[in-house]
Amino acid sequence: MSVKIINKLLSIGVAMALTAPVLVQADISVDMSDVRGDDHGDGSLSYPERYDFQPGDLDLLSMKVEKGQDGIWFIANFRNSVRDPKDARVDVGPESLDNFFRLGFFAFNIDVYIDKDREKGSGNSFMLPGRDAKVAPGFAWEKAVMLSPRPELIRKVLVDSLASEFEHLDKKAIESRLDANIFYPKKVKVYNRAIEFYVPYSFLGEGNPAEWGYTAIVTGAKTLMNFEIDQLIKMGLMQRGWDVMQPEGGITEQTFGIPDSRKPVLPIVDLLAAGEGEQEKQLSPGRGAELSGVSTVSAKVGAGVPVTSIAAYLGQPDQKAKAVLLSEPRDASPIIGNTTAGEISGAAVPMPAPKRDNSVDGIKRRLQKLDKLRDEGVITDKEYEQNRQRILNEL
Ligand SMILES: [Ca+2]
Ligand SMILES: [Ca+2]
């Protein structure tokens, strides 16, 4: 492993210590490298055929962790410049993309699952809906960070889908449980090829970030408009990782392509793993693959705390899972109980990718779809008119 993690203990300047009553934390410098040119998942993913996606865009080169005030900064370096939301291409919708993606990026999500205790099997194994993989027991996580171009929205959708699944639970209880375990950064900076995101210690809790394990993945982010999302929620399609581009067979415009759609391929485009071929090996089992993170501290044999499964999110949760969700939030505890780790359940519903069709029939279909959305009150009359004109202009 060429992973280089340096933990430097530097003395804090006296002047600063006097003026700023901040919690004194060790200066951290964690630098984890990734293979260049491996933005192809298990080796078979090809980029969407559209101008706002090019090979290299989702190629993670390194991830760093640096000390910030009362928290840490993650710094992800990519091969290409981070694309501006004004370059994003979407199908229909009245909203301006700059309003829609306020954080300065739109094309990807970065998930970081943090293993704080480095105890094998202690913590969560599930990844968020739609990733279709698990975190290996040696990296079972306590805290997860989800960098999304639309953090408020993905949190809300996750809360809503859990609330509809666990109807008897108070929504506030679900929210506090989620917020104790999953953080959606809103403090984000884009510098050419780097994106930095801030995570406070109030979320992360105690510990030395240089001694933690990190399982990080990059996925393509879907660019759905608000009214489309509302529609999908109504249709009950939101549970299956709607924020992640799912691979499809052939040459594709809206998502990543794979040569053979019969073979299930994970939507993970890049996995943080320093060894050549390591990522391809880890992702090749497809659905249910167990991914290992990166750490300088090797995993201890755990106390045998069972890892959890994402199946509880997607399938019918069992009684035991409900009981644990009801319990009080507590640091380093699973979100949803001790369900059996295993295959992701069959409740997953693949989401149809929006396609632009400029044929007369295609225009007709899109206009009918628009009529339906207005009739159901999903879009306003004004939004209806704007979209209608936009579609007709393509004739
Ligand atoms: Ca890479
Ligand atoms: Ca990689």
pTM of the model: 0.72
The predicted-structure confidence for 98-110, as pLDDT tens digits, reads as follows 667 889 999 999 9
**Which ligand sits nearest to residue 55's alpha carbon?**
1
Distance (angstroms) between ligand 2 centre and the Cα of 36 equals 7
Taking the C-alpha atoms of residue 333 and residue 123, their distance in angstroms, rounded to an integer, is: 6
CA distances from 320 to 4, 308, 323, 339, 372 (A): 41, 12, 5, 8, 41
Give the mean pLDDT of 239-266: 84
Dihedral sign of CA atoms 218, 223, 227, 231 in order: negative
Distance (angstroms) between ligand 2 centre and the Cα of 274 equals 7
The predicted-structure confidence for 304-355, as pLDDT tens digits, reads as follows 444 443 334 333 333 333 333 333 333 333 333 323 332 222 222 233 333 4
The predicted-structure confidence for 159-195, as pLDDT tens digits, reads as follows 887 777 777 778 888 888 888 889 999 999 999 999 9
Taking the C-alpha atoms of residue 299 and residue 295, their distance in angstroms, rounded to an integer, is: 9
Distance (angstroms) between ligand 1 centre and the Cα of 361 equals 42
Taking the C-alpha atoms of residue 170 and residue 180, their distance in angstroms, rounded to an integer, is: 16
Question: What's the one-letter identity of residue 233?
Answer: I
Q: Which parts of the chain fold into alpha helices (H)?
A: 14-19, 97-100, 151-165, 171-181, 201-204, 226-234, 278-283, 311-314, 319-326, 360-375, 381-392
The predicted-structure confidence for 69-87, as pLDDT tens digits, reads as follows 899 999 999 999 999 887 7
Distance (angstroms) between ligand 2 centre and the Cα of 104 equals 23
Distance (angstroms) between ligand 2 centre and the Cα of 257 equals 18
Distance (angstroms) between ligand 2 centre and the Cα of 105 equals 20
Give the mean pLDDT of 378-394: 77
Distance (angstroms) between ligand 1 centre and the Cα of 128 equals 21
pLDDT value of residue 111: 97
Distance (angstroms) between ligand 2 centre and the Cα of 16 equals 39
Query: Are the C-beta atoms of 366 and 92 separated by less than 8 Å?
Result: yes
Taking ligand 2, which is a single-atom ion, which protein residues have CB atoms under 5 Å away? 34-35, 38, 270-271, 279
Distance (angstroms) between ligand 2 centre and the Cα of 188 equals 22
Domains of the chain (ranges; CATH) run: 4-354 (2.60.40.1190), 357-395 (no CATH)
For 143, the enclosing helix (H) or strand (E) is strand 143-147
Distance (angstroms) between ligand 2 centre and the Cα of 42 equals 10
Distance (angstroms) between ligand 1 centre and the Cα of 3 equals 13
pLDDT value of residue 328: 33
Taking the C-alpha atoms of residue 59 and residue 55, their distance in angstroms, rounded to an integer, is: 8
DSSP per-residue codes, 5-20: EE----PPPHHHHHH-
pLDDT band of 296, cuts 50, 70, 90:
confident
Strand-pairing partners, residue 64, are 31, 75
Taking the C-alpha atoms of residue 105 and residue 80, their distance in angstroms, rounded to an integer, is: 13
Residue of 275 and 348 predicted with greater confidence? 275
